[in-house]
Amino acid sequence: MGNALTDILAVLPDDAMLRQFHLPKGSMQHVDMKTGDKIWQTLKTMGIQYVAGGSAANTITCTAIFGMKSGFIGKIGDDDLGHLYKSDQEQYGIRSTLLKGTNPSGRAMVFITAPNAERTFAVYLGAALELVPEDLKPEYFEGYDYFHIEGYLVQNQNLVRKAVEYAKAAGCIISLDMASYNVVESNEAFLHDIVDHYVDIVFANESEARAFTRLGPREALDEIAGHCSIAVVKVGKDGSMVRSGDEYHYIEAWPAATIDATGAGDTYAAGFLYAHSLGMPLRACGEIGSIIAAKVVEVIGTKIDIPRWKDAKAEIRSLMAAVNQTQGQD
Ligand SMILES: Nc1ncnc2c1ncn2[C@@H]1O[C@H](COP(=O)(O)OP(=O)(O)OP(=O)(O)O)[C@@H](O)[C@H]1O
Ligand SMILES: [Mg+2]
């Protein structure tokens, strides 16, 4: 469950448009409908690309490609972007529960500027923000083994609470991606409560882990692991750490020719959950997350191309075969 946002990607020749819309380079700003429309109209005059996005949606698109039966709960508007979003998910075989709001569909306008493909975001949440607790039904959760939720939704605490209650009642393993350090900072008490009472698997990057615990990554990992069954702290190109009870693993990042790190965390979560669903040991879950994350950093945007998917699947198959062989010897 997450914000249904279409990424509108534009590669800009220079920073002029960023200045025009007062967007600090590299930042993520929320914009209102009027500004959002103005930016979109300006972008339409250039070559732009539309790609279904949003953190949790990116994760479950990946789990669907891995072959897991995946579903998504979110809210879209009754417009072209909403239709595009729906058909994009259907194309991956995702069972979407895309409810309709009254505002236009949410979108993240992504400006990619030279020299390092730096990204600046202007996000209009629109209909995505209209998802309310009353929209949820127990049957949306039934029949699933995992429920994955993005931290961006905690601006609506009642929605998140109802969702995890239904997910727990349906017997799901609940995973939470903390999303961003400002989300954690502004909802700290609530997040602690949810992690203590509902969440089984926590994914946090270094700055989210610090905001949640005031600790560096390694100590934060131990602290979070004391409150859920599996804690994962990701440290970008330096890899990730996982802990469950007394079991700890440091996992190096998989080699990659990085051009754009967007989506690394979302795909890592997908690989991790996929491996977990197959009963892989903890270390292998982290390694499989790292393999797939190393593919998304090699492309612009959050969609891994087919050749890279093939490579990832081959690498994951051989890793799993090695794990199964060692286990067979034990
Ligand atoms: N440059 C890189 N090269 C290889 N792997 C990477 C690179 N950057 C990230 N990864 C992999 O992706 C994982 C998650 O990345 P990161 O720590 O940036 O998460 P995140 O901050 O949640 O990402 P996002 O910005 O997508 O939310 C890392 O643990 C690592 O395995
Ligand atoms: Mg992240």
For a ligand 1 pocket test, name from 183, 205, 233, 267 the mutation site with the most ligand atoms within 8 angstroms of its C-beta. Answer: 205
Q: Give the pTM.
A: 0.96
Q: Which residues surround ligand 2, an ion (CB under 5 A)?
A: 265
- Look at residue 304 in the predicted model and tell me its pLDDT: 97
- 265 Cβ inside 6 Å of ligand 1: yes
- Whether 28 lines ligand 1, by a CB cut-off of 6 Å, is no
Domains of the chain with bracketed CATH: 1-92+102-131 (3.40.1190.20)
Rounded-to-integer distance, Cα 301 and Cα 10, Å = 11
Which ligand has the nearest atom to the CA of 235? Answer: 1
pLDDT value at residue 264: 96
**How do the pLDDT tens digits run along the chain, 330 residues long?**
999 999 999 988 889 999 999 999 888 889 999 999 999 999 988 889 999 999 999 999 999 999 999 999 999 999 999 999 999 999 999 999 999 999 999 999 999 887 777 889 999 999 999 999 999 999 999 999 999 999 999 999 999 999 999 999 999 999 999 999 989 999 999 999 999 999 999 999 999 999 999 999 999 999 999 999 999 999 999 999 999 999 999 999 999 999 888 899 999 999 999 999 999 999 999 999 999 999 999 998 899 999 999 999 999 999 999 999 988 776
Q: Please state at what angle helix 264-277 crosses helix 306-329, rounded to 10 degrees.
A: 40
Output the pLDDT for position 259.
87
Residue 176, pLDDT score: 98
Q: Is 71 in the pocket of ligand 1 (CB under 6 A)?
A: no
Task: Provide the residue type at 31 as one letter.
Answer: V
Q: What is the pLDDT of residue 280?
A: 97
When the pLDDT of each residue in the chain is averaged and rounded to a whole number, the result is: 95
pLDDT, tens digit, 9 for 90 and up, residues 134-163: 999 999 999 999 999 999 999 999 999 999
Q: Across the strands, what pairs with 249?
A: 242
Residue 9: helix, strand or coil by DSSP? strand
Neighbouring CB atoms inside 10 A of 192's CB total 14
SS (H, E, C) 129-153: HHCCHHHCCHHHCCCCCEEEEEHHH
Contact 77, 84 (CB under 8 A): no
The closest residue, in CA terms, to atom 14 on ligand 1 is 265
Task: Give the distance (Å) from ligand 2 centre to CA of residue 152.
Answer: 10
* pLDDT tens for each residue of 241-259: 999 999 999 999 999 999 8
**Does any ligand 1 atom lie closer than 6 A to the CB of residue 264?**
yes
Burial degree of 326 (CB within 10 A; 0-12, 13-18, 19+): exposed
- Tell me, using a 6 A CB cutoff, whether residue 207 lines ligand 1: no
pLDDT score, position 114? 75
In this structure, the residue with its CA closest to atom 1 of ligand 1 is 237
The predicted pLDDT at position 46 comes to 85
In this predicted structure, what is the pLDDT of residue 51? 93
Residue 28 is predicted with a pLDDT of 85
Task: For residue 236, give the ligand 1 atom closest to its CA.
Answer: 17
Q: 86 CB less than 6 Å from ligand 1?
A: no
Residue type, 91: Q
Residue 34's nearest CA partner among 45, 19, 21 is 21
Q: Which two tokens stand for residue 322?
A: 């090695």
- Supply the pLDDT for residue 66: 98
